[in-house]
Amino acid sequence: MAKNIKQRKTKKSRKSEKKWGYKDKNTIPKLWTIKQPDDLRFRCDGQVDLFHFTKKDNLVDILKYGIIFGDVIINQLEGFNAPNLTSESQFHDPGHRSKPLHKSETNNDYNIRLAIRCDTDEKIINYGWFDKIYCGSLHRNMNRRLTGIKSTYFGDIDKQYIYKGHITPDMIESIYTWNEEIQDWVRMTQQDINDICEKYKDLPFKPRTGIRQLRITGLVFNDYTGMVKTYFAENDHKETYQHLYKYSDYICDNLTGTLLRKYRKKVFYFSHREMIEELIYFVMKRYNVMVQSEYRIDLEKEMLELQKRINLSH
């Protein structure tokens, strides 16, 4: 019986390893211990070098704070925050969204392209190289599984880049929007930009109401922009799940090693299965276990307050 259980666990572990693109974490080098080859280094010329694709509702924050968010997943439980860029002027999607931003059939807000001027190439890391060296080809393999071996639906990973730094507003050379009629990107006027910012700047809640997975696991705080904590401090009052993030931030600040990995694994388990209520209860219960009795929260009361914010944000 014990042998059969062990065999099942081994088979499950191998399946997970195959899914996440690595065979043995001990064969993956420690982050940044291998230098990017010079022939893969992106050469900046001080002009418009790279592009970033986003949504209209992000524009007002980007023009204030710069580009400060980008999920870089290393494996099932590790990752960091750094902006994602591409040298392709057409859509790219390292996050594997279900459809291209400029072809969304349900929301025409998914159609902004930012042209970025970079003054240094030292912070620009080729995503294809990074994926092979540090992720065991996780992202390339995922592209193949989702779209077919030769598909470029998500863009060419060898023309995508991680920016290890803060892309400030003054690095944004120009802003384009997708014109469905002529099937091309059109440079936006300052009035167009102002109209979009005016639409979103005074909303009481952020347009996105889902839980930030990288926030609740603490991975977003592995931050190469140096701006994430500032942004959250100034904008958390607009987050639907503001109170939940307060508890998850405390958990991630105070757990380390195996305990932190177990916490993240449980969060991803609930999140991937869209078990949102179970996820929320799990985080709040974990918080209560970690704090002294006088700081513990009433779970039912918190759930009611959270539901009120969810209702208000819709």
* pLDDT, tens digit (0-9, with 9 covering 90-100), for 172-185: 999 999 888 888 89
* Integer Cα distance of 153 and 27 in angstroms: 30
> In a 10 Å sphere around its CB, with 0-12 CB exposed, 13-18 middle and 19+ buried, how is residue 312 labelled?
exposed
pLDDT reported for residue 47: 67
DSSP 162: E
For residue 187, count CB atoms less than 10 angstroms from its CB and return exposed for 0-12, middle for 13-18, buried for 19 or more.
exposed
Closest among 90, 125, 63, 81 to 220, alpha carbons compared:
81
Predicted local distance difference test score (pLDDT) of residue 2:
53
CA-closest candidate to residue 54, choices 175, 163, 192:
175
DSSP 261: H
Average pLDDT over residues 236-263: 96
Show the CA angle centred on residue 97, arms to residues 125 and 140, nearest 5°: 45
Q: What per-residue confidence (pLDDT) applies to 239?
A: 94
H/E stretch holding 113: strand 112-117
Q: What is the pLDDT of residues 56-88, one digit of tens each?
A: 999 999 999 999 999 999 998 999 999 999 998
Residue with token string 């992720």: 135
List beta partners, residue 172. Answer: 116
What is the rounded CA–CA span in Å between residue 155 and residue 34? 25
**Residue 253 pLDDT class (50, 70, 90 cuts):** very high
- CB of 221 closer than 8 Å to CB of 81: yes
Q: Of 90, 165, 157, 91, which is closest to residue 129 (Cα–Cα)?
A: 157
Mean pLDDT for 43-48 is 72
Q: How many CB atoms lie within 10 A of CB 239?
A: 21
Average confidence (pLDDT) over 138-154: 70
Tokens representing residue 102 in the block? 């400029």
Across 149-163, 217-231, 266-280, least confident range = 149-163
In which band, very low, low, confident or very high, does the pLDDT at 25 lie, cut at 50, 70 and 90? low
131, with CB counted inside 10 A (0-12, 13-18, 19+), is buried
Q: Work out the pLDDT band at 107, boundaries 50, 70, 90.
A: very low
pLDDT of residue 51: 94
CA-CA distance, 186 to 170, in Å (whole number)?
A: 20
Q: Which of 10-19, 154-163, 253-262 has the highest mean pLDDT?
A: 253-262
pLDDT > 70: percent of the chain: 81
